[in-house]
Structure 1
């Protein structure tokens, strides 16, 4: 096999339902990396309370995989472009199950953190391969529909994992780690339904495939949007349990339901709002709408004084998140030439998860100094600013297009 390979997209062909479902289930594994154990965070922190820096390290149980994903995803993208999608995907799914469940047997916080690092390696390979395969299998029109479905599936997977994780955490704080074994059920599906895309062994096509003018500037802006979104999003699983505790809610299952509410609304938004927002407002209008909805949700969380208020705030936040995530990936893949899909997928994956990793490092010192509600209100203000920037760019592009037509 040549070390350089491009992947042909079957124009206009209908995608088998089993193939689509397998891709969607694999995509849902990514949200499990953090959401599954979020409800047991308080109990885990209490178990290791005597450990030095337990407050920060217990939060790293959620966010440490994100650092590994961010570091490994670009390399996974290069491997995917050069050597194929399916074999790296199979290895990643197997490692996912092994690393995720190994925390059941760990008796030290350090051991759990090591298992989370390995889980991050697995998620990097899985998410990069799945996103690149979506680019290979689907036409642009099919891809936009699929990305909305993927966003919904990821959000629904988060709902199931959070609720099930909360119930298992009621039994024991280690319980949610058992959920990662479900990845093994997807190995036969990958073998049966995800064939390696056709490839032409042309180094020349790799070197000379054109990128449109302004690709790198636009792609850098897209990566920044993905990272800032994740920086905001990860405030919820890492800090919302502690905010709920402050207002008198200590149940892991209720914590799981609260976080899952945002995911459920995200799923509905991905399926129902995303296509309409894209067609009505366009690319930058979608960004403006998404960031504004998320900003309102964060602001409502910061002033919530009851469980019902938290639920409402999470629903509002989820509606913005559900229209943003599929838009980011759809825009990125639409911009990529065939030979770049793995690397574009890896870069998007890295930007999303570096934001998740960095989230506790800014939020925890901020919370220590100004309080937990201040962190949510501050990130809400930042999201409002991003929405304003998106509206400005949208208006400028609309004005430019109008002037061009008039000429």
Structure 2
């Protein structure tokens, strides 16, 4: 089988996939690179009013900006094109990402982080859209969407380590890593191209028909994606606190980091599993993914001791790795070329909004039900309900024999 796929009059291969997967890692860099130097930032800005809240927002605010801006990025993608927005966003990303190296005020740094989030929303939307644009063959497209989860998960682990190592030179130093945006933009400039709207191998809106967002087809799926974004980030954010709650000292960063690393590897394994299950439709994988999350979280909720936390985190993270590409494929691959940017933008917004809401919702659930482990168990129960609902809905759609049911499933 050829290792290339037609995209307009040009053919995309492994090199284009590598560039798009590398670009997909930039939003991950924005959310994790700075976490090791947050204590330094808190100490540096301790005298500023509201620093206790504002310093953590340096990490959190890009995710909110992605959620808010991604739909607008999708509009730009569909109306003005993919490549120019991607290259421009990467260059601006490098500039505003490194801005804290020379900025001195907390407010100015927060403004730069808002701009970083806007760029990340555009980068993630375009990279995902181009993967679907370039690779129409279902097996290869799903493989690369699965590898997107693997690469971003591995990149998150690497970026945390890099941020920690560079942080030894001061809190300014890790921000230099944002120059990676320019490093990636240069080969993209010469190796990527604008897909053709007349590509016969892609799906298109009927001639003369307006290209609108297919809300009837994707709205429920976006709500499922919002919930999936929330469950995906529960253990990423909370696993360290769960380990400490079992009696491990907060100073024992080796044990805490070890559990987090094992969970991260399980997430990557889930993405690899999706990449291998290319013949199974996403609607059939989603109940499995939510089910694995449910089992893992309920193990933690019922037995909040260290061995159970480790086992539960592995099971749940395996489900999370399977969940992310399944959700993405379930929503985005049903879109026609002319509407794909906006559909991808709304998917990205839904997923990252779930990420942003995770610490807020977990705090509220924990306060209501008596602690973090109980809250994780409650979320696991909700994931089980969603798994059953998606399973029953998928079976009902298959039985309707609707012309688009096979595609939507």
Instruction: State the TM-score bracket (shorter-chain normalisation).
Output: 0.7 to 0.9
Q: CA deviation at 1:287?
A: 0.9
Unmatched tracts of structure 1, length 5 or more:
1-7, 402-407
From the two aligned structures, give the one with the greater helix fraction.
1
The answer to whether the Cα contact below 8 Å between 2:286 and 2:387 also exists between their aligned partners in 1 is yes
C-alpha separation between the residues in 2 aligned to 1:38 and 1:117? Answer: 16
Q: Secondary structure at 2:7's aligned position in 1? A: coil
- Residues 133 and 161 of structure 1: is their aligned pair in 2 closer, same or farther, counting only changes over 3 Å? same
Name 1:182's counterpart in structure 2. 180
- Greater Cα offset, 29-38 or 367-376: 367-376
Q: Secondary structure at 1:197's aligned position in 2? A: coil
The answer to whether the Cα contact below 8 Å between 2:211 and 2:338 also exists between their aligned partners in 1 is no
**Aligned Cα RMSD in Å?**
3.3
C-alpha separation between the residues in 1 aligned to 2:300 and 2:33? Answer: 22
**1:19-34 matches, cutoff 5 A:** 19-34=16-31
- Residues 155 and 372 of structure 1: is their aligned pair in 2 closer, same or farther, counting only changes over 3 Å? same
**1:143-292 matches, cutoff 5 A:** 143-169=141-167, 172-173=170-171, 175-199=173-197, 208=209, 216-246=215-245, 247-250=248-251, 255=256, 257-276=258-277, 279-280=279-280, 282-292=281-291
TM-score, scaled to structure 2: 0.82
C-alpha separation between the residues in 2 aligned to 1:351 and 1:293? Answer: 21
Name 1:404's counterpart in structure 2. none
The answer to whether the Cα contact below 8 Å between 2:274 and 2:322 also exists between their aligned partners in 1 is yes
TM-score, scaled to structure 1: 0.82
Q: CA deviation at 1:396?
A: 3.6
Q: CA deviation at 1:124?
A: 0.8
Q: Secondary structure at 1:336's aligned position in 2? A: coil
Q: CA deviation at 1:102?
A: 2.4
C-alpha separation between the residues in 2 aligned to 1:309 and 1:116? Answer: 37
C-alpha separation between the residues in 2 aligned to 1:251 and 1:41? Answer: 18
- Residues 367 and 102 of structure 1: is their aligned pair in 2 closer, same or farther, counting only changes over 3 Å? farther
Q: CA deviation at 1:242?
A: 3.9
Aligned length: 388
Higher relative CO (Cα under 8 Å, sequence separation at least 6) belongs to: 1
- Residues 80 and 13 of structure 1: is their aligned pair in 2 closer, same or farther, counting only changes over 3 Å? closer
The answer to whether the Cα contact below 8 Å between 1:34 and 1:62 also exists between their aligned partners in 2 is yes
The answer to whether the Cα contact below 8 Å between 1:106 and 1:112 also exists between their aligned partners in 2 is yes
C-alpha separation between the residues in 2 aligned to 1:185 and 1:74? Answer: 26
- 1:305 is aligned to 2:305: yes
Name 2:393's counterpart in structure 1. 393
- Residues 39 and 368 of structure 1: is their aligned pair in 2 closer, same or farther, counting only changes over 3 Å? farther
**1:317-336 matches, cutoff 5 A:** 317-336=316-335
C-alpha separation between the residues in 2 aligned to 1:300 and 1:126? Answer: 37
- Residues 239 and 292 of structure 1: is their aligned pair in 2 closer, same or farther, counting only changes over 3 Å? same
Name 1:374's counterpart in structure 2. 374
- Residues 39 and 384 of structure 1: is their aligned pair in 2 closer, same or farther, counting only changes over 3 Å? farther
- Residues 384 and 43 of structure 1: is their aligned pair in 2 closer, same or farther, counting only changes over 3 Å? farther
- Residues 122 and 389 of structure 1: is their aligned pair in 2 closer, same or farther, counting only changes over 3 Å? same
C-alpha separation between the residues in 2 aligned to 1:163 and 1:146? Answer: 25
Q: Secondary structure at 1:195's aligned position in 2? A: coil
- 1:75 is aligned to 2:76: no
C-alpha separation between the residues in 1 aligned to 2:386 and 2:10? Answer: 38
Q: Secondary structure at 1:298's aligned position in 2? A: helix
Name 2:89's counterpart in structure 1. 92
- Greater Cα offset, 379-388 or 36-45: 36-45
C-alpha separation between the residues in 2 aligned to 1:274 and 1:124? Answer: 24
Name 1:5's counterpart in structure 2. none
Q: CA deviation at 1:79?
A: 0.9
- 1:60 is aligned to 2:57: yes
- Residues 86 and 354 of structure 1: is their aligned pair in 2 closer, same or farther, counting only changes over 3 Å? same
Q: CA deviation at 1:186?
A: 0.3
- Residues 173 and 250 of structure 1: is their aligned pair in 2 closer, same or farther, counting only changes over 3 Å? farther
Unmatched tracts of structure 2, length 5 or more:
402-409
- Residues 13 and 107 of structure 1: is their aligned pair in 2 closer, same or farther, counting only changes over 3 Å? closer
